[in-house]
């Protein structure tokens, strides 16, 4: 295909003193690459004097300094030349809605007419053409697509990189099937400026060629899908024999993986455990980098037959994919076993083709939805699974996901039934020998038939299992939101310009239904308010009260204190359920009558149908939540195991109260899970605290199972890979001067590092440190990422992995469970020993329960949790034998408090105690 053979593209990139063009900001560099016949034929670059200082942040980003432009010509000199270069071209930019308006503003300010060229945007084009890329920043795209791009954030280099990107985008789109191009072309009119022209041109040119659909695709209605492999029945038994002797294992490993005696010892330990019939549980602490995943896979794999599966549960979906894509292929390569492995996750991770197809023919979507739909259309020509996680989105909050996430039903009789991604995934899972899931899914679906009969279970990163089980059970009832939904429903029915009453009020039947429903909605709101008052009336019984930064008041309660026997709340909750179901039923009658309206000339009918239908879904959601809550409150024996938090968005107003609940003791739930599985292995690099398993045995609810215990040894000399430094002359971590010294360390002592993880315990301190260093000239080569500031944790992790040099300021989850396999970490800084904040409601409630049971909270709960988290933070460094790095501790309590000795004992190498003035030299010379 030769689309655009006669088109001249001018790919433009500007560097400016700031983003707000009206605020005395000007162009400091104009870069342009000319494309003819889809080849870059010429580039231009002009440094331009803005007649103002260039801000430090811009200098750090572009490496263009005041002295570089001081003797250059200003924009008035270059304007005629720029106009001439861009004449009769298609204007292209990576974020065209910045570059074109900015350039036109400068032209108009200097007395020239604004450009009226056709203009297209490569950000939107790249998202659609390459839907699974982790980032669409230009520097990231050029790296991922192997586009030579020598000087990112220099206009000439960026223009050239964008030009090559545009050519790759066009070549990719030209290869798409005709039906996909047709649908993309029909949707594209909502894209930025003239970007749709790219799609319509390619679709029109392809149509002239009348290309047949390639054999690798199939068409269902107007959707083109990659053909899926049929799921074959797996009836044969695996007859391979476990290599009992170490010599046999050495022979098997030869030329495939290194033979490491500590790893083989671990394999043997697990294999012995599996073959002792009366053993139920084994706890294994295996140091990072010792191949624990391969070890347990190897030990269990020889036990797997058609009727018996191995289930592996990890804390995150990232680790799930790593086991599926890396660890299991390595196992099969070494053993030559014929085993099938599949990922197991909730149905809403899979695309519902029916819902997606319907979404394409509804009202004009917003820009976010439109681009997402177009990305999915291209992705469907690539994916073998339909797993939405392949799109590498950092959140799933776009309204489209409510419609296109698979609900988990069988989809019999649908046009897409035979190609339904979720059902195909279930079929593959039924035939698999190894199933890899996550802790939360296992906790909520442990009785699923997918696990088969008498399955084995491995709980990886087991130190996180209980918290994940608990968080999967935690829930809330947002009374304010229900009240808001009912108010919105009244507006749709009575008060909006296009309300049902205003459109159909003259209809006797509609009028009857509306007059009956309105007082019932108002009555329901009164019941909601009564429930809110009842919650607030127990304020004096609260275990703790805390005020968040946003002003919300949190009241924490033991279950039996907030809901004593024969309490009025349960009676009123039953009344809410009755009235809620009544309102839902009568609203549904109005919806049904609207559907059957014969007068279709009313253009507002579809909109009101959609809105009321959405409100009924909301009512269904709250009906379900109300029954969950009442079931919980009726189980009096379980109430002491639950904590409740009443949150008020306005501390003075009881009608702003909402209720959430959290499990304080997961033991009963854990026992149900364990009963479903056989020979359960709990494995992690951090299960022991103070050289014993006592804490984790209690936390995991394993006391009655009397588990076996095993501590593995490292397969390499850890001291050659890990250096631990502790600065002993810093002020107390709570002193204001501590933050200032931390900022100085980050600005001046990281010159030899590329990837630095700064672990903190306070989100407010993170924001303050971020603000102080984000524009520091000393850190201009680093991408600075901060939890709570730089987007979701997923986005931060992706940015960190992609960037050549980056710093993360993180708390909470960044201490554990996040691996940086793609880039590694050079330095981890523990700013503070990771004790839980005693002010958190969930911590207060758990500790109150322990105190009531006569437990020494600090030594039996607080310290073990802190030690495990501390060891996990250190574990961010050494994930394998190739990793090397430094762990820096800035909390002087390590040396001044008695409990500091417990932390020191948890560090597997000798700690080097240093002064602050020695730090830079220690960090600089480590890599040498």
Residue 799 has pLDDT above 90, yes or no: no
Per-residue pLDDT at 768: 92
Q: In what order do the strands lie in the sheet with 827-830?
A: 783-786, 806-810, 755-759, 827-830, 885-889, 722-727, 911-914
**CA-CA distances (angstroms) from residue 151 to 62, 66, 156, 223, 456?**
9, 18, 8, 41, 53
Residue 772 has pLDDT above 90, yes or no: yes
Per-residue pLDDT at 916: 93
Residues β-bridged to residue 10: 34, 91
Per-residue pLDDT at 149: 57
Per-residue pLDDT at 816: 80
* 691 vs 355, more confident: 355
The model's confidence at residue 231, banded by pLDDT at 50, 70 and 90, is low
Q: How far apart are CA 182 and CA 200, in angstroms?
A: 8
Per-residue pLDDT at 319: 87
Residues β-bridged to residue 807: 756, 784
* 412 vs 200, more confident: 200
740 touches 927 (CB < 8 A): no
Per-residue pLDDT at 140: 84
Per-residue pLDDT at 829: 96
Residue 236 has pLDDT above 60, yes or no: no
Q: How far apart are CA 768 and CA 444, in angstroms?
A: 39
126 touches 141 (CB < 8 A): yes
Per-residue pLDDT at 925: 86
Q: How far apart are CA 309 and CA 238, in angstroms?
A: 12
Predicted confidence (pLDDT) per residue in 396-421, tens digit: 767 788 889 999 887 777 889 999 99
- Rounded percentage of the chain residues whose pLDDT exceeds 70: 96
Quick one: tokens of 859?
Answer: 């030594």
Per-residue pLDDT at 151: 59
**CA-CA distances (angstroms) from residue 385 to 42, 264, 357, 471, 680?**
43, 35, 17, 28, 29
The DSSP 8-state label assigned to residue 703 in this structure reads G
Helices 261-274 and 292-301: crossing angle, nearest 10°? 40
Per-residue pLDDT at 804: 86
In three state form, how does the secondary structure of 39-83 look? Answer: EEEEEEEEECECCCCCCHHHHHHHCCCHHHHCCCCEHHHHHHHHH
Q: How far apart are CA 54 and CA 15, in angstroms?
A: 11
The model's confidence at residue 365, banded by pLDDT at 50, 70 and 90, is low
* 599 vs 859, more confident: 859
Give the number of other CB atoms < 10 A from CB of residue 718. Answer: 14
Lowest-confidence pick of 63-67, 237-241, 296-300, 676-680: 237-241
The model's confidence at residue 565, banded by pLDDT at 50, 70 and 90, is confident
Across 686-715, b (16+ Cβ under 10 Å) vs e yields: bbbbeeebebbbbbbbbeeeebbbbebebb
Residue 235 has pLDDT above 70, yes or no: no
Per-residue pLDDT at 112: 94
Per-residue pLDDT at 364: 63
Across 135-167, b (16+ Cβ under 10 Å) vs e yields: bbbbbbbbbebebebeebbbbbbbbbbbbbbbb
Q: How far apart are CA 292 and CA 284, in angstroms?
A: 9
Mean pLDDT of 164-179: 95
Per-residue pLDDT at 459: 98
Predicted confidence (pLDDT) per residue in 721-743, tens digit: 899 999 998 998 888 899 999 99
Lowest-confidence pick of 247-256, 406-415, 437-446, 551-560: 406-415
760: left (phi over 0), alpha (psi -120 to 50) or beta: beta
Per-residue pLDDT at 496: 83
Q: How far apart are the first and last CA of the chain?
A: 54
Query: Cα–chain-centroid distance for residue 487?
Result: 33
Q: How far apart are CA 864 and CA 866, in angstroms?
A: 5
Per-residue pLDDT at 822: 67
Lowest-confidence pick of 97-101, 105-109, 786-790: 786-790
Closest CA to 677 of 705, 638, 697: 705
Mean pLDDT of 203-231: 89
Chain mean pLDDT for the chain: 90
Quick one: tokens of 239?
Answer: 């007859």
Per-residue pLDDT at 153: 53
Q: How far apart are CA 706 and CA 700, in angstroms?
A: 12
The model's confidence at residue 675, banded by pLDDT at 50, 70 and 90, is very high
Collapsed DSSP state (helix, strand, coil) of residue 656 = helix
Mean pLDDT of 836-842: 86
Predicted confidence (pLDDT) per residue in 3-37, tens digit: 898 899 999 999 999 988 888 899 999 999 999 99
Q: How far apart are CA 601 and CA 696, in angstroms?
A: 67
Predicted confidence (pLDDT) per residue in 510-529, tens digit: 888 888 999 999 999 999 99
Helices 479-490 and 508-536: crossing angle, nearest 10°? 160
* 363 vs 117, more confident: 117
Q: How far apart are CA 370 and CA 368, in angstroms?
A: 6
Closest CA to 673 of 472, 882, 873: 472
144 touches 136 (CB < 8 A): no
Q: How far apart are CA 663 and CA 80, in angstroms?
A: 70
Predicted confidence (pLDDT) per residue in 250-280, tens digit: 999 998 998 999 999 999 999 999 999 889 9
Give the number of other CB atoms < 10 A from CB of residue 629. Answer: 22
Lowest-confidence pick of 112-116, 262-266, 765-769, 821-825: 821-825
Per-residue pLDDT at 840: 85
Q: How far apart are CA 427 and CA 554, in angstroms?
A: 46
Query: Cα–chain-centroid distance for residue 486?
Result: 32
Per-residue pLDDT at 469: 95
Predicted confidence (pLDDT) per residue in 474-494, tens digit: 999 999 999 999 999 999 888
Full-model pTM: 0.86
- Rounded percentage of the chain residues whose pLDDT exceeds 90: 65
Helices 568-595 and 508-536: crossing angle, nearest 10°? 160
Residues β-bridged to residue 441: none
Q: How far apart are CA 679 and CA 697, in angstroms?
A: 16
Per-residue pLDDT at 901: 94
Per-residue pLDDT at 592: 86
In three state form, how does the secondary structure of 811-837 look? Answer: CHHHHCCCCCCCCCCCEEEECCCCCCC
195: left (phi over 0), alpha (psi -120 to 50) or beta: alpha
Per-residue pLDDT at 504: 81
347 touches 407 (CB < 8 A): yes
Predicted confidence (pLDDT) per residue in 130-159, tens digit: 999 988 988 888 888 888 755 555 667 889
Question: What stretches of 210-333 adopt beta strand conformation (E)?
Answer: 217-220, 223-226, 281-285, 310-314
Q: Report long-range pairs for 462-465 (Cβ below 8 Å, ≥24 apart).
A: 462/283, 462/682, 462/683, 462/684, 462/687, 462/696, 462/700, 463/684, 463/686, 463/687, 463/696, 463/816, 463/868, 463/872, 464/315, 464/439, 464/684, 464/816, 464/817, 465/313, 465/315, 465/439, 465/682, 465/700
**CA-CA distances (angstroms) from residue 807 to 301, 481, 598, 746, 816?**
40, 38, 62, 9, 17
Collapsed DSSP state (helix, strand, coil) of residue 361 = coil
Per-residue pLDDT at 203: 95
Q: How far apart are CA 111 and CA 107, in angstroms?
A: 6
């Amino acid at each position: 295909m030769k689309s655009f053979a006669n088109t001249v593209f001018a790919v433009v990139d500007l560097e400016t003193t700031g983003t707000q063009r009206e605020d005395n900001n000007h162009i400091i560099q104009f870069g342009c690459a000319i494309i003819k016949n889809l080849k870059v034929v010429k580039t231009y670059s002009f440094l331009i004097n803005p007649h103002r200082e260039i801000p430090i942040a811009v200098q750090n980003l572009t490496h263009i300094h005041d002295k570089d432009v001081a003797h250059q010509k200003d924009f008035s000199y270059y304007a005629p030349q720029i106009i001439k270069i861009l004449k009769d071209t298609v204007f292209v930019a990576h974020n065209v809605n910045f570059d074109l308006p900015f350039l036109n503003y400068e032209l108009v300010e200097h007395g020239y007419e604004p450009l009226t060229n056709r203009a297209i945007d490569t950000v939107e084009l790249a998202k659609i053409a390459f839907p699974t890329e982790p980032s669409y920043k230009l520097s990231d795209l050029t790296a991922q697509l192997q586009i030579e791009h020598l000087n990112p954030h220099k206009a000439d280099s960026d223009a050239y990189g964008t030009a090559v990107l545009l050519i790759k985008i066009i070549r990719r789109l030209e290869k798409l099937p005709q039906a996909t191009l047709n649908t993309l072309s029909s949707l594209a009119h909502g894209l930025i400026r003239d970007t749709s022209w790219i799609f319509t041109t390619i679709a029109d040119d392809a149509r002239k060629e009348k290309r047949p659909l390639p054999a690798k695709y199939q068409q269902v209605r107007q959707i083109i899908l990659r053909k899926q492999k049929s799921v074959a029945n797996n009836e044969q038994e695996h007859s391979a024999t476990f290599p009992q002797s170490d010599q046999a294992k050495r022979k098997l490993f030869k030329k495939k993986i290194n033979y490491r005696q500590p790893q083989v010892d671990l394999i043997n330990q697990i294999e012995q455990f599996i073959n002792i019939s009366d053993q139920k549980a084994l706890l294994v602490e295996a140091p990072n980098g010792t191949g624990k995943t391969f070890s347990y896979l190897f030990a269990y794999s020889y036990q797997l037959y058609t009727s018996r599966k191995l289930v592996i549960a990890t804390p995150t979906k990232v680790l799930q994919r790593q086991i599926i894509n890396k660890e299991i292929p390595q196992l099969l390569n070494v053993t030559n076993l014929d085993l099938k492995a599949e990922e197991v996750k909730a149905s809403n991770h899979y695309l519902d083709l029916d819902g997606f197809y319907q979404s394409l023919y509804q009202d004009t979507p917003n820009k976010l939805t439109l681009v997402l739909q177009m990305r999915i259309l291209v992705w469907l020509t690539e994916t073998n699974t339909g797993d939405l996680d392949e799109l590498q989105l950092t959140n799933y909050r776009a309204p489209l996901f409510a419609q296109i996430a698979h609900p988990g039903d069988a989809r019999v009789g649908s046009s897409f039934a035979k190609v339904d991604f979720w059902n195909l995934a279930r079929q593959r899972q039924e035939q698999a020998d190894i199933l890899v899931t996550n802790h939360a899914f296992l906790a909520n679906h442990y009785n699923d038939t997918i696990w088969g009969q008498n399955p084995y279970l491995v709980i990886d990163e087991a130190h996180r299992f209980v918290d994940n089980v608990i968080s999967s059970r935690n829930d809330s009832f947002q009374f304010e939101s229900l009240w808001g939904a009912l108010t919105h429903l009244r507006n749709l029915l009575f008060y909006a310009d296009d309300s049902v009453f205003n459109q159909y009020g003259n209809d006797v039947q509609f009028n009857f239904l509306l007059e009956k429903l309105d007082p019932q909605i108002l009555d329901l709101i009164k019941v909601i308010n009564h429930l809110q008052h009842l919650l607030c009336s127990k304020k004096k019984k609260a275990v703790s009260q805390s005020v968040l930064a946003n002003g919300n008041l949190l009241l924490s309660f033991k279950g039996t204190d907030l809901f004593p026997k024969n309490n009025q709340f349960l009676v009123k909750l039953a009344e809410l359920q009755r009235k809620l179901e009544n309102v839902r039923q009568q609203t549904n009658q109005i919806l049904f009558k609207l559907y059957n309206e014969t007068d279709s000339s009313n253009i507002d009918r579809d909109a009101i149908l959609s809105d009321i239908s959405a409100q009924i879904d909301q009512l269904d959601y709250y009906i379900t939540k109300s029954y969950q809550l009442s079931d919980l409150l009726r189980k009096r024996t379980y109430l002491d195991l639950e904590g409740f938090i009443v949150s008020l968005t306005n501390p003075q107003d009881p009608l702003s109260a909402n209720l959430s609940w959290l499990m304080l003791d997961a033991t009963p739930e854990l026992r149900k899970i364990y009963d479903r599985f056989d020979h359960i292995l709990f494995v992690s690099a951090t299960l022991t605290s103070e050289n014993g398993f006592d804490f984790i045995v209690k936390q995991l609810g394993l006391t009655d199972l009397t588990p076996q215990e095993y501590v593995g040894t490292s397969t390499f000399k850890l001291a050659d890979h890990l250096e631990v430094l502790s600065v002993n002359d810093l002020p107390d971590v709570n002193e204001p001067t501590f933050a200032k010294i931390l900022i100085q360390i980050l600005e001046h002592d990281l010159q030899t590092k590329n990837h630095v993880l700064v672990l903190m315990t306070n989100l407010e301190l993170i924001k303050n440190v971020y603000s102080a260093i984000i524009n520091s000239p000393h850190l201009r080569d680093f991408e600075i990422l901060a939890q709570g500031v730089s987007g979701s944790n997923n986005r931060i992790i992706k940015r960190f992995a992609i960037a050549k040099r980056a710093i993360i300021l993180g708390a909470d989850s960044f201490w554990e469970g996040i691996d940086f396999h793609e880039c590694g970490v050079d330095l981890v800084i523990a700013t503070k020993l990771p004790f839980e904040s005693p002010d958190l409601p969930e911590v207060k409630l758990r500790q109150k329960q322990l105190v009531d049971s006569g437990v020494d909270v600090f030594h039996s709960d607080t310290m073990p949790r802190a030690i495990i988290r501390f060891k996990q933070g250190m574990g961010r460094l050494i994930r394998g034998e190739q990793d090397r790095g430094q762990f820096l501790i800035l909390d002087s309590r390590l040396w001044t408090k008695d409990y500091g000795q417990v932390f020191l004992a948890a560090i597997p190498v000798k700690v080097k105690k240093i002064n602050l003035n020695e730090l830079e030299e220690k960090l600089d010379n480590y890599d040498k």
